[in-house]
Structure formats: C-alpha cells, structure tokens
Amino acid sequence: MQEVFQQLQAKFELSLEETNLNPDPVERYDRCVKLVGRAIEELKGTVASQSFQSKDEEIYYFKSVCPVFYSKHFYFIKVYDIELLKCSTGKKSLRWKYDHDLREIELFFSQNRELCKYFYGNLTYLDEQLFTRTDGRLGVIEDLSPVIDPNFTLASYKFSWIIANQKYRIYLEKELNELDHPQESKIGQDPEKDVITLGVSKSYLAEEIVALQLAELIYVNGRPASLAWLTERAEILLHTDLKDFKSLDYANRNRKKELTPLLTSMIKKYMDRASRLNK
C-alpha cells in the first residue's frame, strides 16, 4: 500500500500547486480546505478497501502518511479563518488574534513535550504502541476535525498538530511582522529584490529563448519579441552572461543525440503531471 499512499500524496500536492496560482488568499485557502478534505476521504477509502499487510505497514500509515494530510487540513482551516478575519477587522483585533493563537501553539508544545521529542528525534521505540489501532485509538474527535477517521490514533493526531502548528506559527509571525513593519513586507515582495539564478546550463537557456521567440509568446510594443530582446532580458533577470548566445545556438542546432533536450524534458514532465492529476 505504500506506493498507493505515495501516489495519492503526489496527486494532492500537484492539485495544491495549481491552487497556489490564485492571487486571492480567501479563495485560495477555501479551495485548499476542500482539496485536502477530498484527499483525506480518498485516503480513508483506500484504507477501508485494503487491509494492512503487516504491523510495519500500519505504523507507516499512521506515523508517516496520515500526518502529512491531516496537518494540512488543520493548517488550512486556521489560515482560512485568519484570511476571512482580515477582510472585516482592524489591526488591533488582528494583533490580539495572532498573539492569542501563538500562545495556544506554545501551550500545545509545552503540554506535548515528550511526544514532540519523539517526533523531532525521529524515534521509533514506541511506534507499535503509538501508531497502531490496537492501543492508540483517538476516541474523541473535536469539532475542527470532522473528516478524521474514527480509527485515527492519538499519536498520529498529535503528530499532525505538531506539523500544522509549526507551519501556522511561521505564518502568524509573518503576519505580525507585516503589521509592525508594513513597508518592509512590501520590499520583501518586490521581485526586483529576489535572488534569481539560472537553474540549468546556458545551452538549455538558449534553447528556451529560441523556442519562445519562434512561438511568439511574448510581445513588445505590439510586435513579437526579438531574439536580441529576449536574450537581453534573460541576462538581466538571471544575472547570466549570454554574449556567447550565437555560439550556444549553433552548438544546439548541431546536437547529435537529442536536438531539443530541454523542451523534450519539459513536455514529458507536463504529460506525467497531467496523467497523475487526471487519474
């Protein structure tokens, strides 16, 4: 079943990637909440239809699989509520909410100190006790978590909250910083301040520039961008010297094995992604 769980997770993560393109945070997190809810239902259905083949497989599910999905469920609900609140309240109320939730997070970590040590230490000696349904059933489900499987173990539930609270704390601290230093937050979002570097060889970049120009995807002043314009912008954006562009292009055109390795790889990755999402 491990491969099935990994496929479900990959499919879910790809769905979240598409959702992140939505610039409206309320719509984005609302969509995330719904996506993770459906993913969890699919996960529960998979477990209900197939039996664990061993104790190790059951431990793997409750220790390594469940927390990945449920932590996102908890996190997205928290953040969605904050984004809704930001639409209708002022800085004073927001600050109170941020401070309150940060104190709640610290209280959670304090009350679950031993389990946190087990989580962060990657320990295993209590796995059978903590992550099997024989000994570790949750028993009580809070209102925030209606999608939880009744067989969910207490340790798995708390592992999920450790991950969610860790991420939620970062989110809250960022929001507080933006309240205190609004100008700094704007500077941090300025793309001109980002550190952008080239992640492939210059020959691959040259291949991409030629493809963009031939496809006429970018227009400048109503006309398709020229190779010279695209090359100049690529140099500025990626801090890369492309004075040897003509030599790179010549070498690319005379490749022996694969004429367009970058474009071929991009097409394959896109098709693989589409295949996973459409299953």
Choose the final residue of a domain: 191, 215, 231.
191
Query: For 58-111, how does the pLDDT look when each residue is reduced to its tens digit (9 = 90+)?
Result: 899 899 998 999 999 999 999 999 999 999 888 899 999 999 999 999 999 999
Q: What is the pLDDT of residue 160?
A: 92
Q: What is the pLDDT of residue 188?
A: 46
Residue 223 pairs with which residues in a beta bridge?
220
214 with 180, same domain?
A: no
- The CA–CA distances, whole Å, from 93 to 22, 26, 98, 140, 176 equal 26, 18, 9, 32, 12
Residue 175 exposure: Cα atoms within 13 Å on the Cβ side: 22
Distance CA(215)–CA(192), nearest Å, equals 27
244: its two tokens: 């040897």
Residue 10 DSSP code? H
Distance CA(35)–CA(15), nearest Å, equals 8
Residues 6+ apart with CB under 8 A from 243: none
110 or 278: which carries more pLDDT confidence? 110
Query: For 114-129, how does the pLDDT look when each residue is reduced to its tens digit (9 = 90+)?
Result: 999 999 998 999 888 8
201 with 142, same domain?
A: no
63 with 154, same domain?
A: yes
Number of domains in the chain: 2
9: its two tokens: 């997770």
Q: How confident is the model at residue 139 (pLDDT cuts 50, 70, 90)?
A: very low
80 with 117, same domain?
A: yes
Range of the structural domain that residue 270 is part of? 195-277
Query: For 151-202, how does the pLDDT look when each residue is reduced to its tens digit (9 = 90+)?
Result: 678 899 899 999 999 999 999 999 999 888 776 555 445 545 566 777 778 8
256 phi, psi to nearest 5 deg = -90, -45
Mean pLDDT over residues 235-260, rounded? 85
Mean pLDDT over residues 229-238, rounded? 87
Distance CA(49)–CA(51), nearest Å, equals 7
Q: How confident is the model at residue 17 (pLDDT cuts 50, 70, 90)?
A: confident
Residue 219 pairs with which residues in a beta bridge?
224
- Can you spell out the DSSP letters for 17-72? HHHTT-S-HHHHHHHHHHHHHHHHHHHHHHHHHS--SSHHHHHHIIIIIHHHHHHH
58: its two tokens: 């059951």
229 with 156, same domain?
A: no
Q: What is the pLDDT of residue 10?
A: 80
160 with 270, same domain?
A: no
Report the chain's mean pLDDT, rounded to a whole number: 84
Amino acid at 122: N
Chain centroid to Cα 189, Å, comes to: 19
Q: What is the pLDDT of residue 30?
A: 93
14 with 151, same domain?
A: yes
163 with 28, same domain?
A: yes
Residue 138 DSSP code? -
Q: What is the pLDDT of residue 143?
A: 41
Amino acid at 139: G
